[in-house]
A and B are shown apart, each in its own frame.
Chain A
Amino acid sequence: MSKLPDLWQDGLAAGWKVTDASQGGPDLKLECDVVIVGSGAGGGMVAEQLSSAGLHVVLVEEGGLYSSRHFNLRESEAYPQLYQESANRLTADKGITILQGRTVGGSTTVNWTSCFRTPADTLAWWRSHHGLDAMQDAALQPWFEQAEARLNVGPWQTDPNVNNALLAQGCNKLGIPYSPIRRNVKGCWNLGYCGTGCATNAKQSMLVTTIPAALASGAQLLTRVRVQQLLLSPGRSHAEGIVGQALGPDGIQPSGRRVEVRARQVVLSAGAIGTPAVLLRSHAPDPYRLLGKRTFLHPVVMSGGLFRQRVEGYNGAPQSIFSDHFLHTQPLDGPLGYKLEVPPVHPLIMAATLPGNGPVHQRLLKNLPYWQVSLALMRDGFHPESVGGSVGLRSDGTPVLSYPLGAVEWEAARRALLKMAEIQFAAGARVVLPVHEDAGLATSWRQAQDMIRQLPMQILRTRVVSAHVMGGAMMSADERHGVVDQTGRHWQLDNVTVIDGSVFPTSIGANPQLSVYALALRAADALRRRL
């Protein structure tokens, strides 16, 4: 628990309408103008916009309410409390580990604060290959500016931590261009614990910006409610609201309490995977069988470099340097390009992620402060064979993503592992370890090359992770090619709007939060006008 000031304490004392549905009681029945499912990047933005326009908004969130006073920087508490499936959501074949938030503020409460506008080449591709004529740079600019102003997005004035600085140093040696990352923070303490919830309220996540603002203008928040489905009209052309099940205090087992919210408009902001799942459970019309399809991940591979000096990748802003060089060395729809960044390096996640066991693994962890870790985010969804994954439902109704990795992804993974090792040696690494079950410690770039060329590229050997889930309810210019229109409105359900990362028709090719925010502001504006 942090003893620093917590705006939620004051807000709740001032009478914000927040109901923790796990606290038992009779079934809940509410009515409102707009019900929003999910309180992450999309849901938070739209909640503020619509409640400040005077509409009665109810925000329904599956996760619990945790705010700065609960954040104590401990991974063992943060992952079960704040993440989907305890930060261990897996694809159907268990080949990819997916990080997503599940708490008030969604993934923004735990994300790493890196901010990028949607790259121009991605928008151009959406126009030329997906017919999204509204996705013009100039037309979107004001929405990016509004989001950046709201969340204090700006250059990071402090020196990068050593983990990031070594990426810069290695790139520099090899003549690879790199740049600093902009961040959405205000008065950041440079601690490095964005991923366990910001204990100092510096991160301008939905938890401390739009959601408090929405509550202050009269919105209502229900937590620990898993929305099951839409209440559809008999003709299945209209939603009358949503039904959900309250979870028990453990956040896992449904308590038996039923929650029903009737509304004029339904906004789905449950995130990619979550939003398609609500629509699938509702048996929403899907005449062209596109729902849940084309889900993208920016699949990530990682490389560890062991340095003589202390790196302490757990201290300092997690991400402050990136290189897009390898996104531009081949055509957008050619062999997959990748973005280079670094992750924060904390003990639990590092121990679970590094390969091996027994004494070998023990030595890796003993050196925790000396590891620099780099990551490569592969840009999926452009190459003709990179069609992403699809969301389905388990027998208990919970969603599961199948995302088979094919030759195209594995080729890029190997290329990225090679390049990261080269950069780490150039920065002065003593040893490099590709994060792969069959890899050993390479002591020279030559040795690393020989090893990485031989590594079997297979799931559950090559470690692949993702913190960027996108797509599954994609936008399109006509109803035959997507689930929603270019303002997020569902093609078949006239009062259902999707406002989150599931509307993207490809991956973004950059960390996606700012793309979600800007498109959310734009969609919220269109929705407000419709009302």
Chain B
Amino acid sequence: MTINRRQFIRTGLLGAVALGVAARLAAPHPAPGFAASAADRQLIAALGRGMLGSLPATAPISLVDNTLAAIAGLPLASQAELRQLFDLLQQPLARMALGLRPAWPDASAEQVRATLDGWRYSRLTLLRSAYQGLHGLLYAGWYGDTASWAGMSYQLPASMKGLLNE
């Protein structure tokens, strides 16, 4: 049973990678770097819903903008890897092979979280690394934002008050 399931995941993943590569080759002019699209923004929002859940903030936090800014700060090789991952996740067949039936914008937080947890504990290091990569990016996007700090009763040292330009 587990072996069958594992085989399925493996072939499913390979197929999914192939689809992702095909999509990439079909793209007219791959720009260097990540080059975010509207679909990427929706995908990040969905992943964020699943990974983070709903968190308190003292002002609106744009997780999508923060995440895209973090991606833009990575070396080109990492940006290209993330591009591949995002292209793959946006292929409907690949997405389903990787555990999510509804399209990303339609998926509930619970559905996305269950999918992410599947990768988190996968036997395949590739899926675990995808999970960990997204975990790092999304949490950095949230907790790097000052509006998240009050939720942890965290603040900068009082002795620096007035000494820091914003």
Contacts and interface: CB of A to CB of B under 8 A. Distances in A.
A365 B156 contact: no
A2 B163 contact: yes
A182 interface: no
B142 interface: yes
A201 to B, nearest CB: 12
B132 to A, nearest CB: 5
Chain B contact surface mostly: helix
A313 to B, nearest CB: 11
B154 to A, nearest CB: 5
Interface stretch (B12-20, B90-98, B120-128): B120-128
Given A362-B53, A369-B154, A460-B128, A398 B160 contact: no
A79 B144 CA distance: 10
Interface in A279-294: none
B83 interface: no
A461 B163 contact: no
Interface string B22-65: 00000000001100000000000000001111010000000000
Contacts of A403: none
A239 interface: no
A79 B74 CA distance: 10
B151 interface: yes
B86 interface: no
B153 interface: yes
Contacts of B77: 394, 396, 398
Interface stretch (A171-179, A346-354, A415-423, A521-529): A346-354
Nearest to A86: B73
B163 A351 contact: no
B159 to A, nearest CB: 6
A94 B33 contact: no
Interface in B148-166: 148-149, 151-154, 156-157, 159-160, 162-166
Nearest to B162: A3
A2 B53 contact: no
Given A2-B165, A253-B33, A460 B116 contact: no
Interface string B61-104: 00000100010111111100000000000000000000000000
Contacts of A361: 52, 139
A357 B33 contact: no
Contacts of B128: 459-461
Contacts of A193: 157
Contact of B143 (A72, A93, A348): A348
A250 interface: yes
Interface string A460-488: 11000000000000000000000000000
A80 B143 contact: no
A192 interface: yes
A315 interface: yes
Interface string A61-76: 0000000000011111
A398 B154 contact: no
Contact of A437 (B52, B120, B154): B120
B152 A366 contact: yes
A368 B139 CA distance: 14
Given A76-B140, A253-B32, A352-B139, A357 B152 contact: no
Nearest to B117: A357
Given A76-B144, A460-B132, A396 B152 contact: no
For B113, B120, B128, B140, the residue with the greatest tally of chain A CB atoms inside 10 Å of its CB is: B140
Contact of A366 (B116, B121, B151): B151
A53 interface: no
A84 to B, nearest CB: 9
7 contacts: A88-B74, A348-B140, A350-B143, A351-B140, A352-B136, A358-B113, A394-B77
Interface of B: 32-33, 50-53, 55, 66, 70, 72-78, 109, 113, 116-117, 120-121, 125, 128-129, 131-133, 135-136, 139-140, 142-146, 148-149, 151-154, 156-157, 159-160, 162-166
Interface of A: 1-4, 72-76, 79-80, 85-86, 88, 93-95, 189, 191-193, 199, 250, 252-253, 314-315, 347-348, 350-352, 357-359, 361-362, 365-369, 394, 396, 398, 437-438, 459-461
